[in-house]
Amino acid sequence: MMSFFTGRHPAAQAIMFALLCWPALSMQAAEPDLSLEQTRSYALQSDPALRSQRQLEQAYRQDSAASRYWPNPKIALNAQNLPTDSWSFEQEPMTQIQLGISQMLPRGDSLGLQAQKQSLMAGLSRENQALRARELRREVSLLWLEAARAQAAEQLTAGHLQHLQQQAAVLNRRYRNASGLNADSGPQQQDLLRVELETQRIRERLLNLQQQYQAARQRLNEWLPDNEAASALTLSDAPAFEPSEVLAGIMADDQALAALLMQHPLLAQAENRVASAAADIELARQENKAQWGIQASYGYRGDDAMGNDRADFVSVGVSVDLPLFNGERNERKVAASVRRREAEQTRQQLLLRQLLSAVRNEWAQYQLQRQRLEFYDQTLLPQISRQQQAVESSYGQDRNDFNDVIRALMERLNGDIERLNLLRELHKTAIRLEFYAPGFSELPPAAPAEPASAAQLSMKFGHGTEQE
């Protein structure tokens, strides 16, 4: 067992290294790299929630078109004033067959307002689609980053294991060829046991990383087609979204940042709900208006008992309801609608404050993570690399203990893994900042807009606090 780790069987070392690295190598050989943007596209194309919101938007637009029609007219056919003694149609002069039609007219502009409200609901569903697209991009991107980080860490660890095995082979040769020393003496055996222990630790670390990768990859594969389930993932240093290009110039300006966030679907949803509440106010006001109706009827009379012709009757009339008992009731309905609009406005303001705080927090984290990454690249990792080279050189000249070589190697591995973890966190923060940024949409073209948009309706009905 000892010779397997100390370089006496190079073929066995090569086989072990190939077995440890086989999952990563096989994935790279099977398929080309799967980019982050491709993963997002697959997820957006297959998301059932987006399809549901599109269907709901179409339903609201159909409801909006249907709301503009008047109610159906009513037709009545009556036999009037039949005598009960003979049931004869010719006996009495007032006996007739009457055909009537009546039509009720909508109150005020209630039909137009109902159509506009349904149009606002369609716009809200549209914003739900945009929000879902952003949330899905963020969710899938974080899964991709987790899987890519685990795969990169696995490859780094496998490379360090190979380097450790090479150092173990050098150690074995040195002690076998050293003159005057017994290969089984205490110091030699201690060094060989130490390298075997560190090798086992790295193997366990590889297994842990493989477990992390498989867990992240299985969650990611839920959004991927079958032919991409084994594609390799490459984590580059440059984030897919560079926040500095979008946010750096406006982060210190509250008004500019608020104007940018007002384009976000969350706030667009809030604006839409405010406009919908304004439409409810106007609908409540329509209850104060009279509802008119028109009626027309034609009465056919038969000949009298002597055979003389009788004239037929035509009737025309109008009706109107008298709002005598709904004055206070409608006032309370209007007041309730006003309060609901004010509540939506307050929620909108609170949401804007939350988004401002979230963006500033993520921006601060992003700046610090960039500084830490630069420190790793420019200072810490170069020093660790120089230290490792110096220790290995000194050991080659018999000036250092082999434990120092192993310690330097492990410091380099830990430094590389920590730098990889920091890179992943930087990418994650950039992805979270992208969630708040404007300028992208994967949604299909919007359906034709109704005559009154959310913004127009909000302007028409007023947007401030109103006392009714």
Mean pLDDT of the chain: 80
Give the number of C-alpha atoms closer than 13 A to the C-alpha of residue 50, restricted to the C-beta side. Answer: 20
pLDDT digits (tens, 9 = 90+) for 389-447: 888 787 666 666 777 888 888 899 999 999 999 999 999 999 999 898 875 544 544 44
Q: Average pLDDT for residues 94-110, to the nearest whole number?
A: 89
Residue 65 has pLDDT above 60, yes or no: yes
Per-residue CA distances from 335 to 112, 327, 346 (Å): 21, 12, 17
pLDDT digits (tens, 9 = 90+) for 25-48: 344 444 568 888 899 999 998 889
Going edge to edge, which strands form the sheet with 74-80? Answer: 74-80, 96-104, 292-300, 313-320
Which of these ranges, 139-148, 254-263, 267-276, 304-313, has the smallest mean pLDDT? Answer: 304-313
Residue 341 has pLDDT above 60, yes or no: yes
**pLDDT category of residue 1 using cuts at 50, 70 and 90:** very low
pTM (2 d.p.): 0.74
Residue 387 has pLDDT above 70, yes or no: yes
Q: What is the structure's pLDDT at 177?
A: 66
Q: For residues 387 and 396, which has the higher predicted lDDT (pLDDT)? A: 387
Quick count: other Cβ atoms within 10 Å of Cβ 72?
Answer: 8
Q: What is the structure's pLDDT at 287?
A: 83
For the record, the structure tokens of 210 come out as: 């493989």
Residue 164 has pLDDT above 70, yes or no: yes
pLDDT digits (tens, 9 = 90+) for 184-240: 443 466 777 788 888 888 999 999 999 999 999 999 999 999 888 888 888 888 887
Quick count: other Cβ atoms within 10 Å of Cβ 9?
Answer: 14
CA proximity to 114, closest of 64, 164, 78: 64
Q: What is the structure's pLDDT at 178?
A: 56
Q: What is the structure's pLDDT at 450?
A: 44
Residue 11 has pLDDT above 70, yes or no: no
pLDDT digits (tens, 9 = 90+) for 278-287: 998 888 888 8
Residue 16 has pLDDT above 50, yes or no: no
**pLDDT category of residue 10 using cuts at 50, 70 and 90:** very low
Q: What is the structure's pLDDT at 462?
A: 41
